[in-house]
Amino acid sequence: MFQDQEEVSGYLEETCDAEDVLLGVINRETYLKETMPHMLSGHYQGRVLSMISKMLAPKKILEVGTFTGYATLCLAEGLTKDGTLHTIDINEEQEERVSGYFERSAYASQIQYHIGDAINVIPTIEGEFDLVFIDADKKRNLVYYEMLIDRIPKGGVILLDNVLWKGKVFESNPDSQTRQVLELNATLAKDNRVEKLILPIRDGLFVLRKK
Protein backbone atom coordinates (compact mmCIF):
# COMPACT_ATOMS: atom_id res chain seq x y z
CA MET A 1 0.00 0.00 0.00
CA PHE A 2 1.06 3.58 -0.65
CA GLN A 3 2.25 5.30 2.51
CA ASP A 4 1.38 8.90 1.72
CA GLN A 5 -0.63 10.49 -1.11
CA GLU A 6 1.65 13.53 -1.30
CA GLU A 7 4.67 11.24 -1.49
CA VAL A 8 3.04 9.31 -4.35
CA SER A 9 2.11 12.52 -6.16
CA GLY A 10 5.64 13.83 -5.81
CA TYR A 11 7.09 10.62 -7.18
CA LEU A 12 4.70 10.62 -10.15
CA GLU A 13 5.71 14.17 -11.00
CA GLU A 14 9.40 13.32 -10.71
CA THR A 15 9.09 10.40 -13.12
CA CYS A 16 7.04 12.08 -15.87
CA ASP A 17 8.10 14.82 -18.26
CA ALA A 18 8.57 18.26 -16.78
CA GLU A 19 6.01 20.99 -17.40
CA ASP A 20 7.30 23.68 -19.75
CA VAL A 21 8.11 27.21 -18.63
CA LEU A 22 4.71 28.70 -19.46
CA LEU A 23 2.83 25.90 -17.69
CA GLY A 24 5.04 26.48 -14.67
CA VAL A 25 4.10 30.17 -14.72
CA ILE A 26 0.39 29.36 -14.95
CA ASN A 27 0.74 26.88 -12.10
CA ARG A 28 2.49 29.38 -9.81
CA GLU A 29 0.24 32.33 -10.66
CA THR A 30 -2.91 30.26 -10.20
CA TYR A 31 -1.84 29.42 -6.66
CA LEU A 32 -0.93 33.04 -6.00
CA LYS A 33 -4.01 34.71 -7.49
CA GLU A 34 -6.93 32.27 -7.37
CA THR A 35 -9.11 31.49 -4.36
CA MET A 36 -9.58 27.87 -5.48
CA PRO A 37 -6.24 26.94 -7.07
CA HIS A 38 -6.90 23.22 -6.51
CA MET A 39 -9.13 23.41 -9.58
CA LEU A 40 -5.95 23.49 -11.68
CA SER A 41 -5.22 20.18 -13.41
CA GLY A 42 -1.59 20.39 -12.34
CA HIS A 43 1.65 18.84 -13.49
CA TYR A 44 0.91 15.11 -13.49
CA GLN A 45 -2.67 15.27 -14.73
CA GLY A 46 -1.52 17.78 -17.32
CA ARG A 47 0.97 15.23 -18.64
CA VAL A 48 -1.80 12.62 -18.75
CA LEU A 49 -4.02 14.95 -20.78
CA SER A 50 -1.12 15.73 -23.09
CA MET A 51 -0.34 12.05 -23.60
CA ILE A 52 -3.95 11.17 -24.40
CA SER A 53 -4.18 14.07 -26.84
CA LYS A 54 -0.94 13.13 -28.55
CA MET A 55 -2.06 9.51 -28.94
CA LEU A 56 -5.32 10.64 -30.54
CA ALA A 57 -3.77 13.45 -32.64
CA PRO A 58 -7.14 15.25 -32.69
CA LYS A 59 -8.05 17.78 -35.34
CA LYS A 60 -10.72 19.32 -33.13
CA ILE A 61 -10.84 19.50 -29.33
CA LEU A 62 -13.52 20.90 -27.04
CA GLU A 63 -12.83 21.83 -23.43
CA VAL A 64 -15.72 22.75 -21.14
CA GLY A 65 -14.21 24.71 -18.26
CA THR A 66 -11.03 26.66 -19.05
CA PHE A 67 -10.19 27.99 -15.57
CA THR A 68 -6.66 29.42 -15.97
CA GLY A 69 -5.82 27.54 -19.16
CA TYR A 70 -3.35 24.96 -17.84
CA ALA A 71 -5.24 21.90 -19.11
CA THR A 72 -6.07 23.76 -22.32
CA LEU A 73 -2.42 24.08 -23.25
CA CYS A 74 -1.71 20.47 -22.27
CA LEU A 75 -4.51 19.24 -24.55
CA ALA A 76 -3.32 21.52 -27.36
CA GLU A 77 0.02 19.70 -27.44
CA GLY A 78 -1.60 16.83 -29.35
CA LEU A 79 -3.42 18.89 -31.98
CA THR A 80 -2.71 18.29 -35.65
CA LYS A 81 -0.96 21.21 -37.37
CA ASP A 82 -4.28 22.42 -38.78
CA GLY A 83 -6.24 21.50 -35.64
CA THR A 84 -8.37 23.74 -33.43
CA LEU A 85 -9.16 23.71 -29.73
CA HIS A 86 -12.34 25.39 -28.50
CA THR A 87 -12.39 26.13 -24.80
CA ILE A 88 -15.37 27.56 -22.90
CA ASP A 89 -15.52 29.31 -19.54
CA ILE A 90 -18.18 31.42 -17.86
CA ASN A 91 -15.78 33.58 -15.80
CA GLU A 92 -15.07 36.79 -17.72
CA GLU A 93 -12.90 38.16 -14.90
CA GLN A 94 -10.13 35.76 -15.88
CA GLU A 95 -10.42 36.38 -19.62
CA GLU A 96 -7.63 38.92 -20.02
CA ARG A 97 -5.06 36.96 -18.03
CA VAL A 98 -5.92 33.59 -19.58
CA SER A 99 -5.95 35.06 -23.08
CA GLY A 100 -2.47 36.37 -22.32
CA TYR A 101 -1.27 32.87 -21.49
CA PHE A 102 -2.69 31.54 -24.75
CA GLU A 103 -1.06 34.34 -26.75
CA ARG A 104 2.33 33.45 -25.23
CA SER A 105 1.96 29.78 -26.16
CA ALA A 106 2.90 27.93 -29.34
CA TYR A 107 -0.82 27.25 -29.92
CA ALA A 108 -2.14 30.83 -29.94
CA SER A 109 -3.51 30.57 -33.47
CA GLN A 110 -5.20 27.24 -32.77
CA ILE A 111 -7.08 28.10 -29.58
CA GLN A 112 -10.53 29.69 -29.68
CA TYR A 113 -11.49 30.95 -26.24
CA HIS A 114 -15.22 31.38 -25.62
CA ILE A 115 -16.65 33.25 -22.64
CA GLY A 116 -20.21 32.30 -21.77
CA ASP A 117 -22.50 29.54 -20.55
CA ALA A 118 -21.40 26.27 -22.17
CA ILE A 119 -25.04 25.23 -22.63
CA ASN A 120 -25.42 28.18 -25.00
CA VAL A 121 -21.94 28.19 -26.54
CA ILE A 122 -21.65 24.50 -27.50
CA PRO A 123 -24.44 24.64 -30.13
CA THR A 124 -22.68 27.57 -31.84
CA ILE A 125 -19.55 25.51 -32.54
CA GLU A 126 -20.02 23.44 -35.67
CA GLY A 127 -18.81 19.94 -36.43
CA GLU A 128 -17.56 16.92 -34.51
CA PHE A 129 -14.96 16.77 -31.76
CA ASP A 130 -12.23 14.13 -31.68
CA LEU A 131 -11.49 14.85 -28.02
CA VAL A 132 -13.65 16.47 -25.34
CA PHE A 133 -12.57 17.39 -21.81
CA ILE A 134 -15.40 18.28 -19.41
CA ASP A 135 -14.18 20.00 -16.26
CA ALA A 136 -16.80 22.58 -15.32
CA ASP A 137 -20.03 22.75 -13.32
CA LYS A 138 -20.34 19.23 -11.90
CA LYS A 139 -24.14 19.50 -11.62
CA ARG A 140 -24.36 19.68 -15.40
CA ASN A 141 -21.75 17.11 -16.40
CA LEU A 142 -24.41 14.68 -17.60
CA VAL A 143 -26.10 17.46 -19.57
CA TYR A 144 -22.83 18.32 -21.32
CA TYR A 145 -22.17 14.65 -21.99
CA GLU A 146 -25.56 14.10 -23.60
CA MET A 147 -25.17 17.27 -25.66
CA LEU A 148 -21.85 16.03 -27.04
CA ILE A 149 -21.94 12.25 -27.31
CA ASP A 150 -23.56 12.31 -30.76
CA ARG A 151 -20.95 14.81 -31.93
CA ILE A 152 -18.06 12.44 -31.23
CA PRO A 153 -16.90 10.25 -34.13
CA LYS A 154 -16.09 6.57 -33.72
CA GLY A 155 -12.84 6.33 -31.77
CA GLY A 156 -13.27 9.80 -30.32
CA VAL A 157 -12.77 10.33 -26.59
CA ILE A 158 -14.62 12.19 -23.85
CA LEU A 159 -12.83 12.88 -20.56
CA LEU A 160 -14.69 13.94 -17.40
CA ASP A 161 -12.82 15.19 -14.37
CA ASN A 162 -13.54 14.92 -10.62
CA VAL A 163 -15.55 11.70 -10.80
CA LEU A 164 -14.16 10.37 -7.49
CA TRP A 165 -15.16 13.64 -5.80
CA LYS A 166 -12.42 13.75 -3.15
CA GLY A 167 -13.22 10.16 -2.20
CA LYS A 168 -16.76 11.07 -1.17
CA VAL A 169 -18.20 8.56 -3.68
CA PHE A 170 -17.16 5.84 -1.20
CA GLU A 171 -19.03 7.32 1.76
CA SER A 172 -22.03 5.41 3.13
CA ASN A 173 -24.16 8.55 3.48
CA PRO A 174 -23.25 10.82 0.54
CA ASP A 175 -24.38 14.44 0.36
CA SER A 176 -26.42 15.82 -2.55
CA GLN A 177 -23.41 16.83 -4.67
CA THR A 178 -21.83 13.44 -4.19
CA ARG A 179 -25.08 11.73 -5.16
CA GLN A 180 -25.00 13.68 -8.43
CA VAL A 181 -21.49 12.42 -9.13
CA LEU A 182 -22.57 8.86 -8.28
CA GLU A 183 -25.54 9.18 -10.62
CA LEU A 184 -23.27 10.44 -13.39
CA ASN A 185 -20.81 7.57 -12.91
CA ALA A 186 -23.58 4.97 -12.82
CA THR A 187 -25.16 6.36 -15.99
CA LEU A 188 -21.86 6.40 -17.85
CA ALA A 189 -21.01 2.88 -16.68
CA LYS A 190 -24.21 1.61 -18.34
CA ASP A 191 -23.79 3.57 -21.59
CA ASN A 192 -23.24 1.03 -24.37
CA ARG A 193 -22.26 3.71 -26.87
CA VAL A 194 -18.82 3.95 -25.29
CA GLU A 195 -15.98 1.93 -23.82
CA LYS A 196 -15.12 3.35 -20.45
CA LEU A 197 -12.91 3.32 -17.37
CA ILE A 198 -12.00 5.63 -14.51
CA LEU A 199 -8.35 6.52 -13.98
CA PRO A 200 -7.70 7.22 -10.27
CA ILE A 201 -5.68 10.33 -11.09
CA ARG A 202 -6.04 13.21 -8.62
CA ASP A 203 -9.82 13.48 -8.23
CA GLY A 204 -10.69 10.76 -10.77
CA LEU A 205 -10.71 11.00 -14.58
CA PHE A 206 -13.43 9.16 -16.52
CA VAL A 207 -12.21 8.12 -19.97
CA LEU A 208 -14.89 7.22 -22.52
CA ARG A 209 -14.14 6.09 -26.08
CA LYS A 210 -16.92 6.17 -28.67
CA LYS A 211 -17.61 2.75 -30.20
Q: What is the pLDDT of residue 7?
A: 87
Contact 86, 131 (CB under 8 A): no
pLDDT at 3: 59
Q: Residue range 120-138: average pLDDT? A: 96
Q: What is the mean pLDDT of residues 140-144?
A: 95
- Per DSSP, the residues of 81-143 read TT-EEEEEES-GGGHHHHHHHHHHSTTGGGEEEEES-HHHHGGGS-S--SEEEE-S-GGGHHH
What element of type H or E holds 46? helix 42-56
Query: What number is the average pLDDT over the span 162-172?
Result: 90
Q: Where along the chain do its domains lie?
A: 5-210
* Percent residues over pLDDT 90 in the chain: 87
Q: What angle do CA 26, 28, 31 make, to 5 degrees?
A: 105
pLDDT score for 202? 86
Query: Who contacts 41 (Cβ-Cβ below 8 Å, separation ≥6)?
Result: 49, 70, 71, 74, 135, 161, 202
pLDDT at residue 83, rounded to an integer = 98
> Does residue 193 carry a pLDDT above 50?
yes
Report how far residue 182's alpha carbon sits from residue 158's, in angstroms, rounded to the nearest whole number.
Answer: 18
Instruction: Over range 146-151, report the average pLDDT.
Output: 98
Rounded CA gap, 183 and 87, in Å? 26
Encode pLDDT of 46-70 as tens digits.
999 999 999 999 999 999 999 999 9
CB 88 within 8 A of CB 148: no
Q: In what order do the strands lie in the sheet with 111-115?
A: 111-115, 84-89, 60-64, 131-134, 157-161, 205-210, 194-199
User: So what's the pLDDT on residue 166?
Assistant: 84
pLDDT of residue 137: 87
Residue 145 has pLDDT above 80, yes or no: yes
- Tell me the backbone φ, ψ of residue 207, rounded to 5 degrees: -115, 120
C-beta separation of 55 from 131 below 8 A: no
How far apart (Å, rounded) are the C-alpha atoms in residues 85 and 78?
A: 10
Q: Give the pLDDT mean for 114-118.
A: 97
Give the H or E element holding residue 195: strand 194-199
Q: Phi first, then psi: what are they for 175, rounded to 5°?
A: -80, 180
- 5-210: CATH topology: Rossmann fold (3.40.50)
Are 131 and 53 a contacting pair, CB within 8 Å?
yes
- Res 110: pLDDT: 98
pLDDT, residue 1, reads 46
What is residue 2's predicted lDDT score, i.e. its pLDDT? 52
